[in-house]
Structures are given as C-alpha cells and as structure tokens.
Structure 1
Amino acid sequence: MVQTTKPLSAVVLGRVESNKKAHIPALSGVSVGTKNRKGVAAQVKNKGHIDPTTWPNLVREPSAPMMGARASAVHDRLEEFLDSVDISVPDEPIGIGDIDPEPPIAYNPEAVFSSEPMRMSVYDPNVMNRMVDSGFLGLGEGYVAGEWDAIPLADVLATLLDHDIEAGWGKMLSRWSRNKVTGVPRAGELPLELIELCTGPSKTWGSPLFATSSRTSVTETLNWKNKNTIVDVTRYESPQSVSYDDIESAQYRRVNQMLDECRVGPGSRVLEFPASSATLAVTAARRGATVDVLTSDPVYAEDIRRIVREEKLAGAVHVETISGPIPSPRQWSGVYDAIMSVERMETMGVGGLRPFLRAIGRMLSSGGRACIQSVINTGLSENSIQALGIMRGYVWPALEYPTVENIRDALMRYTDLVERAEVHCGDHLRVTLPLWRREFAINRDAAAAAGFDRVYRRLWFYVLALQEALFMRGELDVAQFVLLKPKKSE
C-alpha cells in the first residue's frame, strides 16, 4: 500500500494585485537557499510518499557551488517573473481539501481544462535548491516530489519555459549543473496498464488523426543523392470540437492511413518495431496481412499476445522478444513488404537514427514501403531541452526529438531508402494530450491499485503536461515519413 501524506504546510505565492507583487515565503524556520542545506534536505528525505530505493534522486540533497546565494537569487527572479506574466496566486492553497488533499492542486481532473487565470502554489522552497542543482530538470523533480503545483499545469509550464532560472555568474555556474538522472529504473516499453489508464480500452499510444480537420498538400523537390525526388507533404490543421470519445476512432483512422501508405492488403508481410500497441498489428491482420511485432520487453510481448489471442488473430500475428530495440541481422533476418514504427524512433536519440533506419532498409523488400511516425523537433529552446531531462531520466534514457533534416540526412547517408511522402499532424497530438491527462487523473485510484505509486503518478501527469506545453509553444510536431526501397532496376 502506498503511504500518503498531506502536502507540506501551505507555502503559497501571494495573490498578484496591482499594488502587491508575487511573494514566495520560506517554509517555517528554513530560509530559501540557506547555507545550512541539511535543514531543507531533511524535509525531502522525510516525505513518506517517496520510496528512497525507487526514487533516490528525489530524496538526494541538492548540491551546487554557492548554493545559498544562488537559490536566493533564483527565488527572487522567479517572484519577479511570475509578477511580470500575471501568474495569479491564491492566498490559500488551491483545491486542497476540495478534491483530494493527497495529490495537490493540478491533479484535479477539472483543472486540466481550467479557463481561469494561471495559478501556482509552492509547498516546499527546496524546489529552489533543485533548480540551482539541475535547472528545469530540478523544477520537474520538485513537481514530482510534491513541492509545487499549478493550474493549468501545461499553460504554466509553457510560460515558465520563457524564464531563465539564473542570470549573470549564476548562469555561468549552471553550465556545470546536473543534467542527467542516475540510479533510477530504466523503462523498456510503456506498461500497457499505464497506457490504458490514459487511452481507455484501445490501449493505443501515438498521435491520433481526427476527422474534423482540414489539410493542405504540396510537393517538395529534394536533391536525393544527386537525383531530384518529389515528396508529397501533407499538413493537417488543428481538429475542431474534439472530445475524449473521439480518440479511439481517430487512432484507427491514423493506423489505417499508415497501412494505406504502405499498401498493406491480403498477403502483405508486415513488421512493427519496436512495438507500440496491438492496434496496428490487429488492424493489419484483419486486412489479410501476416504481422511480426518485435519488442525488447517480455512483459509487453505477453500483453500484446494476450490481446491478439482475444481478437482470434494468433495465427496471423507473431510477437517476438529481442535483446534491444533494434534487431541485429543475427537476431532477426526477416524480409517485409511493409515496416511500421509509431513514435519510438525519437526514444533512441539522434544517434540512434543510423542503426534504426539501416535496420529498416535491411529488412524491407525491394519495392517495399515503410511508414515511420515520430514526434519531431521544430525548434526546441535551450530551456525546453533541459526540461526534457525529466523524460530522459525517468522514462526514455536516450530520448532526443530529431528534426526533419536529421531524419532526411540519416536516410541519405546511411540507407538506400527514398522519402516519398510526409504527413504532419502535431495539432492532433496537442489536443489529445490534455484529454489523456484528464483521464489519467480520473483514474488515479485505479493507477494506485495497479502499482503506480504517488510519485510515478505525478511523474506521468507532469510528462504529459510538459509535452503539451512544448506543442503549445510550437517546438514539437508529429510527422509520418513514408519511405520506399527502390527496385533494383529503378
């Protein structure tokens, strides 16, 4: 059973008024950035809801050169910034006692779509020390530890990412800040139980494609290995009037579009790797294809097999476990007419593009097609890259969103594949993320029963909000890349 504790005694930002600036008072008896950091660290280590074995970095005492003076400066700069952007501030903690006093304010499902002005509460000023120690990674860890909250969380994060945590000599010293997390469990695939708590029975991860969206298409001529090649580029606009109930059909629309791009039909040999969910494999099998699904996670493999058996498609879909996300020729030597991947390429980092795309080229038959869906970088700021450290540290260790140029360059340098089409639908994931986050908040009791402790729940809530914030800022997009392996005569 997860031990629960109420948030630390109310330490909130004072209300922003025309004659009063935002104020972050210190926790009783402990000043922010005190040189005697053990007093602040003790507050962290004694939080009963954090298992120090599972989450060692959350109970670790923040440490950095000149911590005391820098944390005080971080505190003052944050007060000034909040005042300048009108992030409002209650005189009393937001929502505590109204919904659930254990998960603080932003965990209220209704707060996900709050139309009220942005608000923020700080429960423990140790988050200032964390920010000195590790910048926006520290801010995220402070949220996960329950040291602060905000409504609406994604909007506040999108605004905070414009704020430089430190300036002057403090910013110079921050170059040596901790920007990695060590000593925590490394995730394989996302657990299907976690996915279901967000997505519902479809258990389908990745950007959907809603029907209520216009689109534009243009052709782009690329110099592909000294030859001109035409790429059809389609951009879907933001969908209209989307609800949670629309997501499942939108997922099937996206899956079927990917299968159409690869011309999957009766007799097609299809590979999905790394596995995203059972939906793509099941849908392809219903078209008459035979499907192989590769994953490095034995538990995930068994979950997908179970779904396939329930759909009575075990003869058409085969799920295999490999030792890593990318199979070597010895591990897997199959040849396929179509290869699919859904938002997994980015979890391997830009350095993983070469082996990933070469593996696709090796396993694709002559004339075969691949469709790779990925979240892509359209201009991540330095602060945003630092903020993504929370995802690299606790979810996907190698996460690095590639640019379109990164992907095209790797294709031309390391493969014989040719890009034929590109489909952009980032606004569809942008409107989906808050719907998933709200559903996850509604299902928090079920998440606890499934074994996800309070820290994990807050981590996942924060990860979804951070991704939403980056889409709101226009720094991320979603793209499908349709690739062709030319026939020998071409």
Structure 2
Amino acid sequence: MTSLESRPSTDERLPALEPVPASPRTAVSAAVARRLFAAAIRRLDVTVEEAPNRRGIGRTLGRGGPRMVIHRPDEFYARLGRDGLIGFGEAYLTGAWDAADLAEFLTVPAARIADLVPQSLQNLRALVTHRTPRHQRSTAANSRANIAHHYDLSNELFAIFLDETLSYSSALFPTSFRAGPDGPHHLLATPPDPADTGAAPLHSADFAEAQARKIDRLLDEAGVTEGTRVLEIGTGWGELALRAARRGARVHSITLSSEQLELAEQRVAAAGVADLVRIELMDYRALAEPEFASAYDAVVSVEMIEAVGHEFWGTYFQTIDHTLAPGGRVAIQAITMPHDRMLATRGTQTWINKYVFPGGFLPSVQVIDEITSAQTSLRRTGLLEFGSHYAETLRRWDTTFRAQRDAVLALGFDETFLRMWHFYLEYSRAGFASGYINVQQLTFVKQGHRAV
C-alpha cells in the first residue's frame, strides 16, 4: 500500500504524524473535503492558492485577503477528509500548507466558524469528529499525565518566550473598562492601545507590568490582604503566590506539574517568603477532605478550569465551595467559549487536545453560572472580559518564540515541534482576535456569614 507524502516528526513528545494511506476511502473523503473547503473559502475574505495536484490541476480560491498556500493538495485534502480540523492542523505540521501570517489568515474563518459549514452537515458532526480518548479524560487517574504532557515539557522552553514573571496566561495591558450588557457587574476591557502592540518591545517592562496588573486585579477581587488564607489552584511558576505573600497573605498553592513545582519553590525561597507559601503536588479533588473544610478566606485560580474537563466542572466548584469559609471570595481567570459552541463540541477531540492540552475543554460563562447556582453556595458578583488582551499576549509570545528558534532546537526539540508550537500560539491568537473564544475574570462570594 502506498501513502501520501508527509514529513514525520522525530520528536517523541509529539503524536506520530502517520502518512494517510492511499485507498478508495481516502480518495472519496478527500474529494468531499476538497468541495466543502472550496465552498467555505469562496465565502471568505482570504486568498488560497492551491498548487497543481498530481493531475496538474491548481486553483485560487477566496474573495481576496490574507493568503494561504497549499503546497501538497493531495495530502492536504486527504488529511482534511480523514480527520477534519485535526487533519487541517496536521497538514500544517507536515508542511502541506503554509501562511505568511498565520493568525491573520486563521482569524477570518474563526470569525465565521458557526456558519461556514451548512447546518445539515453540522448535524452530522458526531459521526465524523473524534471523541475524547478515555485515557485523556480528566479523571483523578489521568490528570497528572495530561498536565505533564504540556507543562512538564521543559522549564527552559517556557522561559524562552514568557516574560520575566513566567506568567503563562493573558496579561492585562493598560486599559479602561466600560459596562457590559449584563449590568454594572459586567465589565468589558477596551483593546490594548496600538502603542502596546505591533512594534512594542516584546520583553519590555510593560509586558511584566501587564502580567502583574492581571494578578493584582485577581487578588484585589478576592480580597487578599495581610493575614488572608489563600488557596491557589494551579501554581504555574509561582508568580501569583509570590505577589499574594508580599501582601502578607498565607498561601497554599497546589499543582500537578512537577517541573513547575520545583521552579516555583525555588522562586519562593529566593524571594524570602517560604514561611508564607506552601506548594504541593496535589489534585484539586483531594481538597474535598474534611481537613480543608472552610479552611480558606480566598480561592484564586488562573486559567486552570480549562484542564478540568466538562464532566468534572461540578466537582471543581463544589470543592472550592467546600474549602471556602462563609463570606469568602473566589477570583478565577478562565478562557471561555460561547455556550452554543460549547454544547456542540463537548466530548470531541480537537487538534489542541491531541497536540497541546489533552483532556482540556473550555466552559461557557453560562454553564459556570448554572453549576455554581445549582450545586454550590457561590454566587457570581463580577465579570471582566478582555479577550483582545489575550490576542496581544499571544502575539508577543509567538514573536519571541520564533525569534528564539535556535535556542528551542538546542533544547532538543525538532522542526516539527517548532511548527506545532507556532500553530498553537497563532491558532489561539486567532480565536481571541475573532471573538470565537474569550478570557474572563470572574468573581464569586460564598453565601453565609463570616465568623468573627
């Protein structure tokens, strides 16, 4: 049996990029994918240039705009036909297609994702999409491996493109807030000033300040001051715990990443606040034990809920409710998606799941409100949306990452990994730039009276 051309990765940290076997089934699915792709692109303000295929047929599609070049059409459509959007991403990894400005191109279809595919075909989604593999469901048994897949890659890798605070979540650049449609407790952040984008120095002090601004707002929303007992779910590399400790708070931070734990503890010790910060390798579900009941005045978590999995969102918020003292406050930063898209994609595996975040899934604000209202005594009191700030954060990360190409290769990562990471950052950036996904800071208060 022959196979279509591809460029396999030699990096064992990536799933194998097997060639698509040439077969009658492949030919049929590729032909269908070719027609559907053309129908979608013809409605978009993009330019897609398709090199001649094996029969010498090439074409240009789209209404004009950001440019995509399909170098190997036979492979591209074979992957797209077999694996849908996962195949689309894999075809980029093998070099079957390219785009000079990946985020600019991907932003256009991302803004139209809900209506690009006819509703009749969307109804068949369950028949053609991959389901989440059982070993990637975010159970207590699987979560450690899911987290290690990404966060234990290498502390040195993340240090290459993150700012000096090692914050791996959206920054909050200088901005003003305006009222959102849901009342005075719903705020919308204005986009970053153009001076903060484009030619702005990528690792300048303003980036670290923007990350600190994000953290400080969360700590303020959670009411963290001297003596506050703080639980942090998801340590990262320790910046939030450090800033909380500098306020005089006592912090218990938990993580499932051994790499992050090691470096975070080193940073805490170097900052001289080891007496105020305790970091543990612990699953959040372990906090359901009686010893943690009402043990904290504030719970803070930054972009960790995305790793919880939709089956366990109830457990996650019930655990927070259990650990929080009456009258205590919760501040969570979360990447979210619209509720209808969340329902449509729940339980499916995406390219991001396969290559970057196994077991991950984005909630909607609506489902968070439904769960907290029905299953906990937590009530939301505030919401800040700042998706455009994540688009700028990702732009800076990606630009720095690509500029440090040789340093990444020196760590033992290969060329396919470089393309994978670039695609991940730009694919995500397009999601925020288009509004397909968003980032929020949500504040909750636990009903009941605080003990005096």
**Structure 1 residues 474 and 451, CA gap change in structure 2 (3 angstroms):** same
Query: Which of the residues 6, 10, 15 maps onto 1:50?
Result: 10
Q: In 1, are the aligned partners of 2:29 and 2:82 still within 8 Å (CA)?
A: no
Distance 1:443 1:471 in 2: 24
Shift of 1:441: 0.8
Distance 2:278 2:419 in 1: 35
Aligned to 1:199: 162
Aligned to 1:289: 249
Shift of 1:240: 0.6
**Structure 1 residues 240 and 209, CA gap change in structure 2 (3 angstroms):** same
Shift of 1:285: 0.7
Aligned to 1:469: 430
- Secondary structure of 2:396's counterpart equals helix
> Aligned pair 1:121/2:69, yes or no?
yes
Distance 2:97 2:179 in 1: 44
> Aligned pair 1:398/2:362, yes or no?
no
- Secondary structure of 1:327's counterpart equals helix
Q: In 1, are the aligned partners of 2:356 and 2:424 still within 8 Å (CA)?
A: no
Aligned to 2:178: 216
Aligned to 2:186: 233
Aligned to 2:3: 39
Q: In 2, are the aligned partners of 1:338 and 1:370 still within 8 Å (CA)?
A: yes
Shift of 1:216: 1.2
Gaps of 5+ in 2: 52-63, 137-144
Which stretch shows the higher mean deviation, 428-437 or 122-131?
122-131
**TM-score normalised to structure 1 length:** 0.75
> Counterparts in 2 of 1:152-191, with a 5 A limit?
152-161=101-110, 162=112, 175-180=126-131, 186-188=146-148, 190-191=151-152
Distance 1:303 1:336 in 2: 25
Distance 1:179 1:166 in 2: 17
- Secondary structure of 2:317's counterpart equals helix
Aligned to 2:229: 269
> Counterparts in 2 of 1:141-160, with a 5 A limit?
141-160=90-109
Distance 1:133 1:441 in 2: 30
Distance 2:182 2:436 in 1: 22
Distance 1:75 1:128 in 2: 6
Q: In 2, are the aligned partners of 1:373 and 1:480 still within 8 Å (CA)?
A: yes
- Secondary structure of 1:69's counterpart equals helix
Identity of aligned residues (%): 25
Q: Please tell me the residue identity of whatever aligns with 2:68.
A: M
Shift of 1:82: 4.6
Q: Please tell me the residue identity of whatever aligns with 2:3.
A: G
- Secondary structure of 1:320's counterpart equals strand
Shift of 1:281: 0.5
- Secondary structure of 1:314's counterpart equals coil
Shift of 1:447: 1.7
Number of equivalenced pairs = 416
Aligned to 2:261: 301
Gaps of 5+ in 1: 1-35, 93-115, 222-230
Aligned to 1:344: 304
Aligned to 1:460: 421
State the structure with more CA Rg.
1
**Structure 1 residues 473 and 219, CA gap change in structure 2 (3 angstroms):** closer
Shift of 1:293: 1.0
Q: In 2, are the aligned partners of 1:208 and 1:254 still within 8 Å (CA)?
A: yes
- The Cα RMSD (Å) is 3.5
**Structure 1 residues 178 and 280, CA gap change in structure 2 (3 angstroms):** same
**Structure 1 residues 414 and 170, CA gap change in structure 2 (3 angstroms):** closer
| Structure showing the higher helix proportion among its residues | 2
